[in-house]
Amino acid sequence: MRFEGRVALITGASRGIGAAIAVALAKEGCRIVAAAKTVDPNPKLAGTLHDTVRMVQEVGGEALAVQCDVRFEDQVQAMVDAAVERFGRIDYLLNNAGAIFWSPVEHWPTRKYDLVMDVNVRAAFLCSRAVIPVMRKQGFGHIVMMSPPEFPEAAPNKGPYLVSKLGMTMVGRAIDAENEDAGMCASALWPVCAIRTAATENLGMGDLSQWRTPEILSDATLELLSRDPKTTRFKAWLDEEILAEAGITDFTRYRCVADVEPPPLSITLVAPHWTRDQA
C-alpha cells in the first residue's frame, strides 16, 4: 500500500493506459480522480469513465469520475476543483490524454495539427498549471507527462506529433526546475514498444505480436511515483529503464502474444542513455 492516503488525477482515464494506471494505483491505496470525455458507451470505442470507476472499486479503491475535455481551460479548472472538493488534495497528475497522427509534413491537415497540439502539449500545460498551486500548498506533488525523451532521429513522418509530445517533455522540465523548493517534481515516461490501446488498434499500428499490454506503463508509473518528489528531479524515462532500476528485467509478462517479443517503437529506437541490453 505504497500510495495509501494519496490522490491521483489521471486524464484520458476511460480506457487503455489511463485505466490501467488507475487500477494499479488503487490496488496500492491511492484514491483516483478519473478524467476523460467518454461517459457513455460507444460501440466503436470500448471503455468509459464509469467502467474505470467500477474497476477501481472492484479492487477496493475509491474513485471520482469527472467528464472533461482537456482542450478547454474552464473544464480543466472545474476538474481540479472537483478533485480538491472531494478528496482535499492532489498528489499526482498523470497527463495521459493524447491525440496521435503520423504523416509526412506535407500531408498534415491543419485540423490534425491543431488537434494534436491542443490535446497533447496545450492540455498538459493547462492541467499542470491548474494543479501546481494545490501541490505547492500541500508541499507535495509529482506531475508525469506521458511523453518521450528527445530522439531527433525519430522525426521523419512524425514531426508535428513529436513537436506536441516533446513540448510536454519541455513543460515537465520547466515545472520541475521551477518548483524544486516546494516538495514537487515532474517526470516524463514513454514506452519502448507500442502499447495495445484504442489508438494502436483503430489506426492499424501493427498487430498483437507488435504490442505490449498497458500494464507495463502502469507498473512503470507506480515505480516512478513511489519516489520522494522532494529528492527526485526531472528525467524523461523509458518504461523498461525505470522498471530495470526497480529490479524488473523480465518483460515477457507484458507481451500480447506470449511467445513473441515486440520490436521497439521507431520513435524510441535510438536512445542515447539507454539500450535494451542494460535490462
Q: What is the band of 275 on the pLDDT scale with cuts at 50, 70, 90? A: very low
CB 160 within 8 A of CB 110: no
Catalytic residue (one of 92, 113, 161, 254): 161
Q: What is the pLDDT of residues 125-180, one digit of tens each?
A: 999 999 999 999 999 999 999 999 987 777 777 889 999 999 999 999 999 999 99
Q: What is the pLDDT of residues 173-197, one digit of tens each?
A: 999 999 999 999 999 999 999 898 8
Residue 178 lies in a domain: yes
Task: Return the pLDDT at 64.
Answer: 98
Give the pTM: 0.93
Per the prediction, the chain carries an average pLDDT of 91
Q: Is 274 exposed, middle or buried (0-12, 13-18, 19+ CB in 10 A)?
A: middle
Alpha carbon distances (Å) from 129 to 43, 134, 181, 236: 34, 10, 17, 19
Share of the chain above pLDDT 90, in %: 79
Share of the chain above pLDDT 70, in %: 94
Span 240-259, mean pLDDT? 95
Task: Return the pLDDT at 91.
Answer: 98
Adjacency order of strands within the sheet including 184-190: 63-67, 31-36, 7-11, 92-95, 141-145, 184-190, 236-238
**Is residue 271 over pLDDT 60?**
no
DSSP for 190-208 reads E-SBEE-SHHHHHTT---G
Q: Residue 152: helix, strand or coil by DSSP?
A: helix
Residue 147 lies in a domain: yes
Residue 253 lies in a domain: no
What DSSP state is assigned to residue 95? E
Residue 271 lies in a domain: no
CA atoms within 13 A on the CB side of 81: 7
- Domain residue limits at 117: 7-191+213-239
Q: Are strands 141-145 and 184-190 parallel, antiparallel or unpaired?
A: parallel
Alpha carbon distances (Å) from 85 to 56, 64, 91, 229: 20, 11, 14, 24
Task: Return the pLDDT at 266.
Answer: 64
Residue 266 lies in a domain: no
Question: In the annotation, is 161 catalytic?
Answer: yes
Task: Return the pLDDT at 190.
Answer: 95
Residue 275 lies in a domain: no
Residue 97 lies in a domain: yes
* 202 compared with 113, residue with greater pLDDT: 113
Residue 89 lies in a domain: yes
Domain count, the chain: 1
CB 141 within 8 A of CB 90: yes
**Is residue 272 over pLDDT 50?**
no
CATH of the domain at 138: 3.40.50.720
Q: What are phi and psi of 14, to 5 degrees?
A: -80, -15
Q: Residue 258: helix, strand or coil by DSSP?
A: coil
Q: What are phi and psi of 207, to 5 degrees?
A: -140, -175
Task: Return the pLDDT at 102.
Answer: 85
User: What whole-number distance in Å separates Cα of residue 75 and Cα of residue 126?
Assistant: 10
Task: Return the pLDDT at 155.
Answer: 79
Q: Crossing angle for the helix pair 49-58 and 16-27, nearest 10 degrees?
A: 20
Q: What is the pLDDT of residues 38-94, one digit of tens each?
A: 888 887 778 899 999 999 999 999 999 999 999 999 999 999 999 999 999 999 999
Q: What is the pLDDT of residues 203-212, one digit of tens each?
A: 677 788 889 9
Contacts 24+ apart (CB under 8 A), 208-213: 208/256, 208/257, 209/256, 209/257, 209/260, 209/262, 210/262, 210/263, 211/256, 211/262, 212/251, 212/254, 212/255, 212/256, 212/262, 213/20, 213/254, 213/255, 213/256
